[in-house]
């Protein structure tokens, strides 16, 4: 049986018996009941189906760690705590949670090397209708005009489907390819947890991009319309998703992109994304992170691949310490090594109706990458940068990166601001 407690219900009122084990779990005991406490917004059924431990299971320290990891993937809690109460016929397992603010109006800001500063209203619902579904929308104006709506269903274990949908509209100056861009994009993703650490799924995307300059698009109308369909498999053993300290994340994706409505595009794209997180044997505050992203595309740029779809590396989300677009090509190979030290480990911050988790992290970094068309350019186009930075870690909202890096001799030390983990941002079309 899984039960939920009301908003005013405390642990003492529920159990009313002094023998409670806090983080010390009797090994080999069978769970007879699960009580969920502290959830004012999140539905008890959502928490219960996400737990690795179910009624009738034998409780172990390993299963408790897995419960914490799986609940953290919902991204709606600032703290998660487990307690047990021993009864004659087994254990009562208490799941005590503190929730982040489910709805948060705010200002959305963006600073990019390509388009400068943009700002506008935003609304984030990280726990829509108590289901842990995330709905985010913003409108930013300034250096570029960006509209976005994103809907993401919560992660679900035990071979269940999860989906997400992203819609963008952009009006901006594409300085990398020297044209004014007006574009719309739609991304639909569905995946299923095959095994505990393996999921597989499919992506369907659509891009409509217009240019004010001839020669940018493959279509004579100066607007390309491209549909892409891909399949992917992910292996994921990260301890947490928001700020991992240990584990692997690996993804292999293969897709076919085809132009429609008088757009003669046709190319295959393959992506291999590897990430490794390693705790250091100093204290729990020290860790390493390694990222490697390889992207290969078939066909020729300007014939099968539109010019606006090749890669430009250098800058905040590729190779720091270099100016934006220092190298370009239809293939890319990006590598990053970061040492991280938690100055302030994530802690709950509350102010009036607002509640979230915030931490501060220092980082040392090294980036190495190349973009190329021919085999000769692969080696010739390698660039590298190194530096240090500070991170504002907000598991329920995102990550802010402030980096100082050196690499390109003629520009000295370069300052970079990034709005998400670099491994994620490197996958974006506009980065």
pLDDT (tens digit, 9 = 90+) per residue, 230-283? 999 999 999 888 788 999 999 999 999 999 999 999 999 999 999 999 999 877
Using the 3D structure, point to which of 78, 99, 120 is the last residue of a domain.
99
- Which tokens in the block code for residue 173? 């100056």
- Which tokens in the block code for residue 350? 């509350």
User: Of 143, 126, 139, which is closest to residue 167 (Cα–Cα)?
Assistant: 139
pLDDT of residue 11: 31
pLDDT of residue 352: 63
User: Of 310, 372, 405, 409, which is closest to residue 113 (Cα–Cα)?
Assistant: 405
CA 40 to chain centre: 26
Q: How many domains does the chain have?
A: 2
- Which tokens in the block code for residue 182? 């007006």
Handedness of CA 63, 64, 65, 70 (dihedral sign): positive
Q: Is residue 317 one of the residues assigned to a domain?
A: yes
Would you give the end-to-end CA distance of the chain in angstroms? 48
Where the chain has pLDDT below 50, the residues are: 5-23
Q: Is residue 62 one of the residues assigned to a domain?
A: yes
Q: Is residue 112 one of the residues assigned to a domain?
A: no
pLDDT of residue 396: 57
Q: What are phi and psi of 423, to 5 degrees?
A: -60, -35
- Which tokens in the block code for residue 265? 């595009």
Question: pTM of the prediction?
Answer: 0.82
Residues 363-413 have pLDDT tens digits of 999 999 999 999 999 999 999 999 999 999 876 566 889 999 999 998 999
Could you give the CA distance from residue 139 to residue 310 in angstroms, rounded to a whole number? Answer: 27
Q: Is residue 44 one of the residues assigned to a domain?
A: yes
Could you give the CA distance from residue 210 to residue 196 in angstroms, rounded to a whole number? Answer: 43
Q: Is residue 242 one of the residues assigned to a domain?
A: no
Classify burial at 334, counting beta carbons within 10 Å of its beta carbon; exposed 0-12, middle 13-18, buried 19 or more: buried
User: Of 193, 262, 196, which is closest to residue 233 (Cα–Cα)?
Assistant: 193
Handedness of CA 88, 56, 131, 359 (dihedral sign): positive
Contact yes or no for 92/35 (Cβ under 8 A) = yes
Q: Is residue 71 one of the residues assigned to a domain?
A: yes
pLDDT of residue 79: 87
193 forms bridges with which residues in the sheet? 199
Q: Is residue 218 one of the residues assigned to a domain?
A: no
Could you give the CA distance from residue 401 to residue 416 in angstroms, rounded to a whole number? Answer: 8
Q: Is residue 415 one of the residues assigned to a domain?
A: yes
pLDDT of residue 16: 35
Using the 3D structure, point to which of 64, 99, 134 is the last residue of a domain.
99
Q: Which domain range does residue 416 map to?
A: 310-431
pLDDT of residue 2: 55
Using the 3D structure, point to which of 69, 99, 129 is the last residue of a domain.
99
Handedness of CA 71, 74, 75, 76 (dihedral sign): negative
Contact yes or no for 135/117 (Cβ under 8 A) = no
Contact yes or no for 269/295 (Cβ under 8 A) = yes
pLDDT of residue 3: 56
- Binning the chain into helix, strand and coil, the percentages to the nearest 5 are 10, 60, 35
Contact yes or no for 310/291 (Cβ under 8 A) = no
pLDDT of residue 160: 81
CATH classification at residue 62? 3.10.20.310
pLDDT of residue 29: 85
């Amino acid at each position: 049986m899984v039960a939920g407690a009301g908003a005013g219900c405390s642990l003492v009122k529920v159990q009313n018996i002094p023998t409670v084990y806090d983080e010390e779990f009797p090994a080999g005991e069978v769970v007879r009941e699960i009580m969920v406490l502290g959830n004012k917004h999140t539905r008890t059924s959502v928490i219960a189906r996400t737990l690795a431990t179910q009624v009738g299971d034998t409780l172990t320290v390993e299963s408790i760690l897995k419960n914490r990891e799986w609940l953290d993937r919902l991204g709606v809690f600032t703290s998660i705590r487990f307690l047990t109460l021993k009864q004659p016929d087994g254990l009562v397992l208490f799941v005590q949670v503190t929730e982040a603010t489910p709805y948060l109006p705010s200002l959305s800001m963006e600073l990019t090397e390509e388009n400068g500063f943009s700002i506008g209203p935003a609304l984030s619902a990280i726990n829509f209708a108590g289901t842990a579904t995330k709905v985010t929308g913003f409108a930013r104006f300034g250096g570029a005009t960006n509209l976005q709506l994103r809907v993401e269903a919560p992660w679900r274990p035990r071979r269940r489907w999860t989906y997400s949908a992203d819609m963008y509209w952009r009006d901006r100056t594409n300085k990398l390819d020297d044209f004014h861009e007006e574009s719309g994009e739609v991304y639909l993703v569905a995946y299923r947890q095959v095994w505990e650490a393996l999921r597989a799924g499919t992506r369907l995307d659509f891009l409509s991009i217009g240019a004010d300059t001839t020669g940018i698009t493959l279509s004579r109308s100066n607007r390309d319309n491209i549909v892409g369909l891909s399949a992917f498999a992910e292996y994921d053993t990260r301890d947490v998703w928001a700020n991992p300290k240990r584990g692997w994340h690996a993804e292999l994706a293969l897709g076919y992109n085809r132009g429609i409505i008088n757009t003669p595009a046709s190319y295959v794209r393959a992506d291999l994304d590897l990430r490794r997180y390693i705790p250091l044997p100093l204290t729990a505050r020290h860790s390493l992170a390694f990222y490697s992203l390889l992207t290969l595309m078939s066909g020729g740029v300007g014939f099968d691949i539109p010019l606006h779809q090749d890669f430009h590396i250098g800058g905040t989300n590729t190779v720091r310490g270099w100016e934006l677009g220092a190298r370009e090509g239809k293939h890319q190979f990006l590598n990053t090594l970061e040492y991280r030290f938690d100055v302030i480990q994530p802690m709950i911050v509350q102010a009036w109706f607002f509640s979230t988790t915030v931490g501060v992290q220092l980082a040392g970094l090294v980036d190495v990458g190349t973009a190329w068309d021919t085999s000769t350019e692969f080696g010739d186009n390698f660039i590298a940068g190194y530096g240090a930075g500070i991170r504002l870690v907000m598991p329920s909202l995102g990550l802010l990166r402030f980096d100082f890096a050196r690499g390109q001799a003629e520009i000295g030390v370069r300052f970079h601001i990034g709005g998400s983990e670099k491994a994620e941002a490197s996958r974006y079309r506009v980065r």
